[in-house]
Structure 1
Amino acid sequence: MTILHDALIFTPHDVDLARSPLAGRIDAKTYVLGAFNPGLTRLPNGNLLLMVRIAEALRTPIRDGHVHSIRRTGEGYTLDAWPLSLVDTADPRQIVMRGAGFRVLALTSLSWLLPVELDPEGRRVSHIHYDRAIAPTASYQCYGVEDPRISKVGERWLMTTCAVSPERQCTALYTSDDALDWRLEGIVLDHQNKDMLIFAGLIGGDYWAQTRPLGDLYFAYPPDSEWRAGPSINLASSPDALHWKPHDAPGLRPHAATVATARMGGGAPPVLTERGWLSLWHGVEPSGMVGVYRTYRTLLDRDDPSVTVATDHAALLEPAPALTEPLSDLLYLRDVVFTTGLVDGGDRWIVASGEADLACRITHLRKDDLR
């Protein structure tokens, strides 16, 4: 695999929190825990747009025997205080409630989305659109708006996001006519369905999407199966991008031959090539607290995306610790590359990823190599 360009394009140091949607709305100092997992698309003017997830966290979350988290309410933002004796704070991203009988979390940060305009090749930042930032507005977004994925279908842009709240962990849809001004359309996938990627084009007149429903129970394949039980990438179709029916046939599943994809989920929205739909997705090898995240590639049939034309068990992108070394004082995770966008760059593909849940990475890959 020939990498023509590989660099961090946007980091926590590039965010002006004085222009954050939270600025002046909470009585506490904050910092940027991460500026990462960006949606990617090309604007009408030819420039690229990153829709960057900004995870804004409290500078001093623990005080007076309590750990605090930010939550949006109908009146603004508030700080919740949890007694330290009742929670586990080992993971810097979340607060785990003890003794609940099942897994219950609060988050150490609240996420909002920042549109960052790049030059046509994604090599430099052209403009940061703070005036078009997307902050939580609905009750089902009270812990934040996370991990946008952007697809252009016809003349309309569609952006799926993960909405986080005690009500549900769901997928919400935004739409736009120019990729800068977005309208919240509401929930399109319900509880514990993440990484929804809408195909960048219709199939048989319908919208299609990759989905990833989660749970803590999976049924075993037979001992000699080529597949491994666990989270997989499923498919759904829709007449209008709002109402989705799960597809009967399975999509991409963890392969028994490798532990590198023991857990998997969607990456970049699939784009159509001359041989079929190119799908970039993430596989997770169990290791440490969160595992090792890598990017993989699969080619899907252009008329039936449940059919795999070709796939590669070798990783397309690996975590790049050399890129984050200048930010080592900000690192709280390692071994994570989480690809979230793919656009055509002529003789190359331009790939956007979150690196180490910290910064935005742009990688140029030769099209010939992805064949």
Structure 2
Amino acid sequence: MSEAFSQDRLVFVPGDVDLSRSPLAGHLDAETYVLGAFNPGLTRLASGNLLMMVRVAEALRQPIRDGHVHAIRWEGEEGTQGRYVLDAWPLEHADTADPRKFMLRGGGWKVMALTSLSWLLPVELDAEGLDVVEVHYDRAVAPRSSLQCYGVEDARISKVGEGWLMTTCSVSPERHSTTLYSSENGLDWQFEDIVLDHQNKDMLIFEGLIGGQYWAQTRPLGDLYFAYPPGSEWRAGPSINLAHSPDGLFWKPCRKPGIRPHAATVATARMGGGAPPILTDEGWLTLWHGVEPKEIVGIYRTYWSLLDRDDPSRVLRTDHAPLIEANPELTRPLEEQMYLRDVVFTTGIADAADHYIVASGEADLACRITHVAKSRFAPS
């Protein structure tokens, strides 16, 4: 255990998933396995227990066979359970260097397909998030539309008023969009609609209204960014933006920028949202990820900022030192399953008296729970 945290452990790993109860079970004439059970959305239920919505990346055991690389795809009528099928791509058209995906050659822009399909598994934990109470396979969230045909990924859950809202990334050739689900109990989820269009990711809805409006952090992606002037304290690149909405469905971007990469460090050269912002006595506490460029994926760490309660574009306090880093000791028992290093991706937070319970994906492989003392965010 890290000396910085009272608790820091993996609570759910690929071997904990029963694929005989997967939404894909019985559909494919091919063996699948759990590439990762990770990036869990987190919320506290009315019972006091915690709920993780775990991203299960179910992958083909042998994606390459018969001179082709294969991808899993959902097809069916809107709103139905549909079925899962395999698509085959000639190997000469594909770059298969990354085990999670393959790039298709020959176009004027990047085109990608996945060797896995993700669905969301509700895993109920005890009040401190340290032990699994129940795994709710009957409440799994899986594709139900062509806009989700390559999977549903990376849930973020926010308790707003008396209800729960969950944003997810829905993946398809149509668009890589953000989709919204709602729940009256934090456990049974109803699909609402697309709320953000192509490659606007890591949408985190604030856990409370500001001026009668819903607010959210977003992160639009692109291949082109305009330079800040020489000597600026900011660095051009992916940043955390803000948006607001009267109803949680229709969102307007905020004119003021949100959290931006700082020129003083390359550790956060690329950034995006982590856990939904929660209200403290001082303002909105937001945990986010910064990525330091390294090899293909980079080094992912968790950072924090405190935002003004009435104007979340105002950063009151932040820290260039990471809050949470990847911990190789945690994944040592899973060494044979490792395919990424240096990645921790925080996706949820819950209040627990004198500390926060933070949920993260560790190495795109497993679910990590970390207890962080509230004193960690006090003024220095």
**TM-score using structure 1 length:** 0.99
Stretch deviating more after TM superposition (231-240 or 68-77): 68-77
Distance across 1 between alignment mates of 2:159 and 2:369 = 19
State the Cα distance separating 1:3 from its structure 2 match: 0.7
Match for 1:204 among 195, 211, 226?
A: 211
* 2:47 corresponding residue in structure 1: 45
Please state whether the residue corresponding to 2:6 is helix, strand or coil.
strand
* CA shift for structure 1 position 101: 1.2
Query: In the alignment, which residue of structure 2 is the partner of 1:11?
Result: 13
Task: Determine the C-alpha separation between the residues in 2 that align with 1:256 and 1:39.
Answer: 30
Distance 2:6 2:254 in 1: 37
Counterparts of 1:212-361 in structure 2 under 5 Å?
Answer: 212-361=219-368
**Offset, 1:2:** 3.0
SS of structure 2 residue aligned to 1:8 = strand
Q: Could you tell me how far apart the structure 1 residues matched to 2:145 and 2:75 are? A: 9
Residue type at the aligned position of 1:285: E
Output one character per residue of 1:132-153: Cα deviation in whole Å (capped at 9) or x when no partner: 0011001110000000000000
Aligned residue identity for 1:25:
H
Partner residue, 1:25: 27
The 2-side partners of 1:212 and 1:112 are apart by 22
The separation in 2 between residues aligned to 1:288 and 1:321, in whole angstroms, is 18
SS in 2 for 1:326: helix
For residues 256 and 145 of structure 2, what CA distance do their matches in structure 1 show? 33
Instruction: Return the letter of the residue paired with 2:303.
Output: Y
Structure 1 Cα separation of the partners of residues 377 and 301 of structure 2: 16
Taking only the aligned residue pairs, the percentage that are identical comes to 72
C-alpha distance in 2, partners of 1:370/1:329? 36
Query: 1:181 & 1:91 partners in 2: Cα distance?
Result: 35
Candidates 135, 145, 148, aligned match of 1:141: 148
Counterpart selection for 1:77 from 80, 84, 97: 84
Q: Is the 8 A contact 1:339 1:351 kept in 2?
A: yes
- Correspondence for 2:185: 178
Say which is worse superposed, 275-284 or 66-75, in terms of deviation.
66-75
Partner of 1:189: 196
- Give the letter aligned to residue 13 of structure 1: G
Runs (4+) of structure 1 exceeding 3 A deviation are none
Output the CA distance in 1 between the equivalents of 2:248 and 2:57. Answer: 28
Q: Could you tell me which amino acid in structure 2 is paired with residue 215 of structure 1?
A: G
What is the CA–CA distance in structure 1 between the aligned matches of 2:203 and 2:56, rounded to whole Å?
19
CA distances 1:160-203 after superposition (whole Å, capped 9, x unpaired): 00000000001000000001111000100001100000000000
| Contact residue 2 and residue 369 of structure 1 kept, 8 A | no
Once the two structures are superposed, what CA deviation does each residue of 1:279-327 show, in whole Å capped at 9, x if it has no partner?
0000000001100000000000000000000010000001101100100
Amino acid at match of 1:340: T
What is the distance in 1 between the residues matched to 2:266 and 2:332?
27
TM-score by length of 2: 0.97
Amino acid at match of 2:361: G
- Structure-to-structure mapping, 1:123-162, within 5 angstroms: 123-162=130-169
Deviation at 1:370, TM superposition (A): 1.7
Give the residue type in structure 2 aligned to 1:357.
D
Deviations 1:211-254 (A, max 9, x none): 00000010000011000000000000000000000000000000
Deviation at 1:100, TM superposition (A): 1.1
* CA shift for structure 1 position 55: 0.2
Report the equivalent of 1:107.
114
* Structure 2 letter corresponding to 1:32: V
Give the aligned partner of residue 57 of structure 2: 55
Structure 2: how far apart are the matches of 1:96 and 1:186? 29
Query: Per-residue displacement from partner, 1:42-88 (whole Å, max 9, x unpaired)?
Result: 01100000000000001111110001010001141110001000000
**Deviation, structure 1 residue 333:** 0.3
Give the Cα–Cα distance (whole angstroms) in 2 for the partners of residues 114 and 180 of structure 1: 10
Do the aligned residues in 2 keep the contact of 1:228 with 1:253 (CA within 8 Å)?
yes
Cα separation, 2, equivalents of 1:268 and 1:190? 21
Per-residue CA shift, 1:339-359, capped at 9, x if unaligned?
Answer: 000100111000000000000
> 1: CA distance between counterparts of 2:199 and 2:60?
26
Tell me the distance in 2 between the aligned counterparts of 1:61 and 1:171.
27
Amino acid aligned to 2:173: P
Q: What is the identity, as a one-letter code, of the residue corresponding to 2:235?
A: R
Contact 1:157 1:179 in 2 (8 A): yes
CA distance in structure 1 between the partners assigned to 2:327 and 2:212 by the alignment: 40
